[in-house]
């Protein structure tokens, strides 16, 4: 099932369920589907307390950079203030001269968890969504740490909704296009650290709250965006996340 957040014709912010091309009122607790509704704007499908992201977590990305496979996951954080939804504008910051795209599969946490074992991880997953880990690449190289480069407002687009019925998140086609031209094309089977191991690893460091987002890393083909570009992340079984660069 696809669930998300949106604004109705009466300017109410609601949860919705999407079936085909139709939207229905959705109540998360308990999970119930209500009457048909009209959504005029789709919002980011979660309000995370934090975004935990992965660096160098695809075999093809490590190969294109000529880097060794990491022995442990490389984690960093993006702030909730960087979140935007589908069709919202990515703002090119004045401090940067190179802003890059990074298509990623994101996990949305379904309930609070700490010190989870890999075999328990699925019990704590609400679902999956598309994510673009927008990065000021020049600042990442300049600073030698990633906080500024990853944290600008609008640098965490995700959506358009959460797919709750993915049977195997490690067999999903993932791609990214800029102005209709494919720039990244891979599959989550290329992940270095699988999703269940990641949830265990992260939850043994920090408590994950309901709605938190784990961005699982980007495949080969990262590159720059320009003002005026339209960037689309597409993941099989989930949908398309589209944003314009302003």
pLDDT cut 90: percent of the chain above it: 97
Structure tokens, 27: 């109540």
The answer to whether residue 29 scores a pLDDT higher than 90 is no
120 three-class SS: helix
Per-residue pLDDT at 31: 87
Whether 72 and 200 have beta carbons less than 8 Å apart is answered as no
DSSP 91: P
For the whole model, what pTM was predicted?
0.97
CA–CA distance, 195 with 167 (Å, rounded to integer): 13
* Cis before 160 (ω within 30): yes
C-alpha atoms less than 13 angstroms from C-alpha of 143 in its C-beta half-sphere: 15
Please compute, for residue 113, the number of CA atoms within 13 A of its CA located in the half-sphere on the CB side.
27
Residue 74 has pLDDT above 90, yes or no: yes
- Grouping H, G, I as helix, E, B as strand and the rest as coil, residue 59 is helix
CB 35 within 8 A of CB 25: yes
Looking at domain 44-245, its CATH superfamily turns out to be: Fumarylacetoacetase-like, C-terminal domain (3.90.850.10)
CA-based end-to-end distance of the chain: 32
Strands 74-78 and 51-55: antiparallel
Per-residue confidence (pLDDT) for residue 222, from 0 to 100: 97
Determine the pLDDT at residue 116.
Answer: 98
pLDDT, tens digit, for every residue of 119-160? 999 999 999 999 999 999 999 999 989 999 999 999 999 999
Strands 156-163 and 89-90: unpaired
Residue 118 φ then ψ, to 5°:
-55, -35
**More confident position, 25 or 65:** 25
Convert the pLDDT of each residue in 164-194 to its tens digit: 999 999 999 999 999 999 999 999 999 999 9
Strands, E, within the chain: which ranges? 2-8, 13-19, 22-27, 32-37, 39-43, 51-55, 74-78, 83-84, 89-90, 99-101, 103-109, 125-132, 135-136, 156-163, 173-178, 181-187, 213-215, 223-225, 230-235, 239-245
Tokens of 166: 């993915």
pLDDT tier at 11 (50, 70, 90 boundaries)?
A: very high
Pair 237, 163: CB distance under 8 Å: yes
| Predicted confidence (pLDDT) at residue 211 exceeds the cutoff of 90 | yes
């Amino acid at each position: 099932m696809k669930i998300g957040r949106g604004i109705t014709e009466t300017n109410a912010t609601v949860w919705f369920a999407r079936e085909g091309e139709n939207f229905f009122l959705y109540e998360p607790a308990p999970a119930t589907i209500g009457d048909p509704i009209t959504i005029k704007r789709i919002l980011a499908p979660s309000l995370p307390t934090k975004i935990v992201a992965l660096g160098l977590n695809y075999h093809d990305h490590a190969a294109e950079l000529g880097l060794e496979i990491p022995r442990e996951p490389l984690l960093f954080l993006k702030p909730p203030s960087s979140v935007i939804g589908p069709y919202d504008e990515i703002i090119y910051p004045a401090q940067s001269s190179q802003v890059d795209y990074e298509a990623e599969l994101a996990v949305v946490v379904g309930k609070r968890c700490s010190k989870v074992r890999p075999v328990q991880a699925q019990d704590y997953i609400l679902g999956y969504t598309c994510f673009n880990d927008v990065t000021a690449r020049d600042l990442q190289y300049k600073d030698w740490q990633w906080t500024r480069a990853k944290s600008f407002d609008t640098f965490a687009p995700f959506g358009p909704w959460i797919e709750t019925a993915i049977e195997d998140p490690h067999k999903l086609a993932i791609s990214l296009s800029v102005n209709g031209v494919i720039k990244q094309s891979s599959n989550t089977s290329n992940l270095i650290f699988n999703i269940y191991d990641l949830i265990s690893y992260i939850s043994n460091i920090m408590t994950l709250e309901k709605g938190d987002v784990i961005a699982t890393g980007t495949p080969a083909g990262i590159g720059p965006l320009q003002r005026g570009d339209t960037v689309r992340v597409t993941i099989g079984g989930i949908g398309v996340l589209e944003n314009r660069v302003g």
